[in-house]
Amino acid sequence: MTTVGDIGEFALIERLSKQVDAARLASPGGAGFRLRLGIGDDAAAWQASAGIVVQTTDTMVDGVHFTEATTPWKDVGWKVLVANLSDIASMGAVPLCGIVTLGLPPGLDVASVDALYAGMLEACATYGALIVGGDVVNAQRAFVTVALTGACAGEPLTRAAARPGDTLAVTGPLGASAAGLRLLLQGKADTAPASLIEAHRRPRPRIEAGQSILLAGGRCAMDVSDGLAVDLGKLGKASGVGVRIEAEQVPRAPVLAALGEPDALELALSGGEDYQLVFAAPRQTIEHVLEEVRGAVIIGEVTADEPGMVRLIDAAGTPMPLTLAGWEHLR
């Protein structure tokens, strides 16, 4: 095994630069984009057609966001890119340029870093982003941070634009990633349904769905990364509204049917990392989006309740208990 400590920072950066070059990623963001300086200078430089720049970042830390058991390095690369791409999608933007920070323990094998980059580059190639630079630092535990910019053709979608009376919808089924993670943590990787493992390791950002929401005249969206109920709490708080979800309408991933209720509902409400978009708009706008985005469904409505309040009801309108459990760091 050759470790990153064996070859050192400079040789590692050269190796990763070559891997990025070899991927021959296409120019992102449409006709107006021109990369001026990629990897290898003090900063990257690029031009995009006039418009609004969006900027986000996401990190995965070994032992916190993933372990060797749950996520092979190539999938870590895919996932950290997708977490960023999903933020871009939720603004109604398209991705442009990513910058990567690697925190690496010197004893980590170079093959793992190669695999990490292979996963990131696969996500870039699939969703139209570039890797234009980065930084490598020594760290006790491995982490990877991606900072991604994007371009928005209109006014960016925000989580602060929901209004009482708006209809609430989600772009597709929820809960499969969390179900997959549970099986992986139980050591059942080999016997679990492949689609659940895939859902956890290879989530898909809804970039086109974000574009559809923007084009339909939507103004409010966010991505479901920590769990639907918790994330709707954040959306409500940011918008100064409450939300009411109808339990039967919350789309469970079909593969969850085998688990039965209430487990499937619970996973769909509290599982993170499916990276669907949740969005709110007047009914007519929502219907335009539903025509465009296959799998998108209405799940409830925006209320004049106390900001951030999330209520769950059954088909008869009777309140159901709802645990606002979701991932919180540091606790």
Among 70, 71, 90, 167, binds a copy of itself (CB under 8 A): 90
Query: For residues 224, 273, 101 and 50, what is the CA-based torsion angle, rounded to 10 degrees?
Result: -40
Residue 206 within binding range of a copy of itself, rule CB under 8 A: no
How would you label 50-71 residue by residue, b for 16+ Cβ within 10 Å and e otherwise?
A: ebeebebebbbebeebbeeebb
Could you say which residues in the range 239-298 bind a copy of itself, by CB under 8 A?
none
Catalogue the long-range contacts made by 34-38 (C-beta closer than 8 Å, 24 or more residues apart): 35/97, 35/130, 35/132, 37/132, 38/130, 38/132, 38/133
Which helix (H) or strand (E) covers residue 246, if one does?
strand 242-246
Report the candidate in 160, 117, 194, 148 with the shortest Cα–Cα distance to residue 55.
Answer: 148
**Whether the Cβ atoms of residue 214 and residue 135 lie closer than 8 Å to each other:** no
For residue 123, the minimal CB distance to a copy of itself (Å) is 17
Q: Which two tokens stand for residue 2?
A: 């050759």
Could you say which residues in the range 151-190 bind a copy of itself, by CB under 8 A?
152, 155-156, 158-160
Using CB atoms within 10 Å of the CB of residue 296, give its burial: 0 to 12 exposed, 13 to 18 middle, 19+ buried. buried
For residue 175, the minimal CB distance to a copy of itself (Å) is 21
Q: How many residues bind a copy of itself (CB under 8 A)?
A: 72
For residue 3, the minimal CB distance to a copy of itself (Å) is 9
Could you say which residues in the range 26-45 bind a copy of itself, by CB under 8 A?
36-37, 40-45
Among 39, 48, 81, 181, binds a copy of itself (CB under 8 A): 48
Could you say which residues in the range 49-88 bind a copy of itself, by CB under 8 A?
50-59, 61, 63-65, 86-88
8-state DSSP, 232:
H
CA-based R_g, the chain, Å: 20
Comparison of 159 and 204: residue with beta carbon closer to a copy of itself: 159
Could you say which residues in the range 291-330 bind a copy of itself, by CB under 8 A?
328-330
Comparison of 24 and 331: residue with beta carbon closer to a copy of itself: 331
**Stretch binding a copy of itself (CB under 8 A), from 5-13, 70-78, 168-176, 257-265:** 5-13
For residue 239, the minimal CB distance to a copy of itself (Å) is 11
Could you say which residues in the range 210-229 bind a copy of itself, by CB under 8 A?
222-223
8-state DSSP, 158:
B
For residue 228, the minimal CB distance to a copy of itself (Å) is 15
Residue 46 within binding range of a copy of itself, rule CB under 8 A: yes
